[in-house]
Amino acid sequence: MIIVLRQDATDEQIRHVIERIEELGFQAHLSRGTYRTIVGVIGDEEQLRAEPLSAIPGVASVIPVMPPFKLVSREAHPQETIVDVAGVPVGGGFLAMIAGPCAVESLEQMRRIAAGVREAGANILRGGAYKPRTSPYSFQGLGLEGLKILREVGDEFGLPVVTEVTDPRLVEEVDRYADMFQIGARNMQNFVLLSEVGRVDKPVLLKRGMSATVNDWLMSAEYIAAKGNSRIVLCERGVKGFDPATRNLYDVAAVAAAKRLTHLPVIVDPSHATGRPDLIPPCALAGLAVGADGVHVEVHDQPELAKSDGAQALRPHEYRELMEQMEALATLFHKQIPRARDASAS
């Protein structure tokens, strides 16, 4: 940590800063420049974050050297983490291909879609049982029945399943049926929920909040890791923008930036980011091109009848065409798309 002193700081104020640092059990290194005087603080700066050092007379600013997200930072863990999702590795050169409908609507619907995405090459099945919707009058999901359907279909087709958990009280229930928790954009800073899933030894798909910075996103991951669960996959799904041409602003630069800051896998969700089926394929490929560790796509065999987000879903044959392109790009970048396990072995 570096403490920058005001240009008019007196010798007495400088001595007081050094004394305060030493009182806290740290070493202080004073450096006087032509225009600025700084004090370097030697020690574990995490222990100083709660101290109001900027309130000391004569201090202009306090600059942390280490990122606040210590556990998920690449500085703390230089090697890329590979998250195992029921036998499907994600990260470290292995790509997650997550596909399925926005919401679980029926057993028959999930079987049809699962068959299509598995044949295309998807390795993780998604489907929402609990749906946090903007309107209280919109379809809210099938709840427990939806979880049971998702589990049954996942086992039938040999696909691990991921579904959203929306409430700390539902963590135990979702844990019984899902192979991976999803924390949606609206709950990215629900710190009680983050702490609860952090106590469970199960992978977590953490979506970026609609107005969250990359640092905000990584700090939310830190909440999960701080409770003992480092099996986290980050997901860029677009942030709020001003242009109505797309549903959200698809921030592929944030993917590249996050990959430099964290050892965790980072995937993209072009479905929620664009809200437009015609833009999903090029944006999926763009995500892989900047280093994403996978792609999350909404797929529905009858999008015009979907109870939620049908307008942004690909049809199974469109997803199959996209998978062919993504497989070619993966080969170009020397990455692998793990295959789903044999369904008969489920």
Sign of CA dihedral 67, 71, 73, 77: positive
Mean pLDDT over each residue of the chain, to the nearest integer: 93
| Residue 343: pLDDT band with limits 50, 70, 90 | low
Phi, psi of 68 (to 5 degrees): -70, -20
Closest C-alpha among 74, 118, 94 to residue 261: 74
The better pLDDT of the pair 29, 147 is held by: 147
pLDDT at 345: 47
The better pLDDT of the pair 341, 117 is held by: 117
The answer on pLDDT for 50 being more than 90 is no
Burial classification of residue 62, based on how many CB atoms lie within 10 Å of its CB (0-12 exposed, 13-18 middle, 19 or more buried) = buried
Domain parsing of the chain, residue ranges: 2-63, 83-345
| Residue 346: pLDDT band with limits 50, 70, 90 | very low
The answer on pLDDT for 212 being more than 60 is yes
CATH 3.20.20.70 fits 83-345, yes or no: yes
Give percent of the chain above pLDDT 70: 98
The answer on pLDDT for 58 being more than 80 is yes
Domain 2-63: top CATH class = alpha beta
The better pLDDT of the pair 54, 301 is held by: 301
pLDDT at 122: 98
- DSSP sequence for 279-341: THHHHHHHHHHTT-SEEEEEB-S-GGG-SS-GGGPBPHHHHHHHHHHHHHHHHHTT-B-PPPP
pTM: 0.85
pLDDT at 77: 83
Phi, psi of 217 (to 5 degrees): -60, -50
Phi, psi of 121 (to 5 degrees): 120, 5
Mean pLDDT of 319-339: 97
Q: What is the pLDDT of residues 67-118, one digit of tens each?
A: 888 889 998 788 899 999 999 999 999 999 999 999 999 999 999 999 999 9
Burial classification of residue 327, based on how many CB atoms lie within 10 Å of its CB (0-12 exposed, 13-18 middle, 19 or more buried) = middle
pLDDT at 342: 75
Mean pLDDT of 318-335: 98
Q: What is the pLDDT of residues 119-174, one digit of tens each?
A: 999 999 999 999 877 777 777 889 999 999 999 999 999 999 999 999 999 999 99
